[in-house]
Amino acid sequence: MTALRRWREADDDGTELPAATVRTAVRFTLEELAIGSPGNSVEVRVPPAAAVQAIAGPRHTRGTPPNVVETDMRTWLRLATGRVSWSEAVTTGAVRASGVRADLSSALPLFSR
């Protein structure tokens, strides 16, 4: 939570944070997604920080998952904190989502502004 708080402050004033702090914030928010929306039907990838499986539905265990969400670290943190909407991120191409369960709009934001 401390890393996320530091990221919010840096995002507000435009300062750069060490990459390790940003990765920690991403990992923390991905863990919160997995806790709040448990399951294995959607793989959420935020390279190079981490990936998790979340959202209830059919479990996937081999090969490329049928439901994948992928984005960069800044976009993910902006989604997790409500600084950008799911539809805006998908429309602008900042998020790539494939599969019928890959819409995370009901699970986001994880934290309010």
pLDDT computed for residue 51 by the predictor: 97
What would the pLDDT profile of 84-99 be if each residue is shown by its tens digit? 999 999 999 999 999 9
Best CA proximity match to 104, nearest among 80, 85, 86, 90: 86
pLDDT computed for residue 59 by the predictor: 72
The pTM of the full predicted model, rounded to 2 decimals, is 0.93
Amino acid making up residue 26: V
What would the pLDDT profile of 33-75 be if each residue is shown by its tens digit? 999 999 989 999 999 999 999 999 877 667 777 899 999 999 9
Phi and psi, residue 50, nearest 5°: -175, 175
* 44 touches 104 (CB < 8 A): yes
CB atoms closer than 10 angstroms to residue 1: 11
Question: Helix 19-36 crosses helix 2-13 at what angle (to 10 degrees)?
Answer: 120
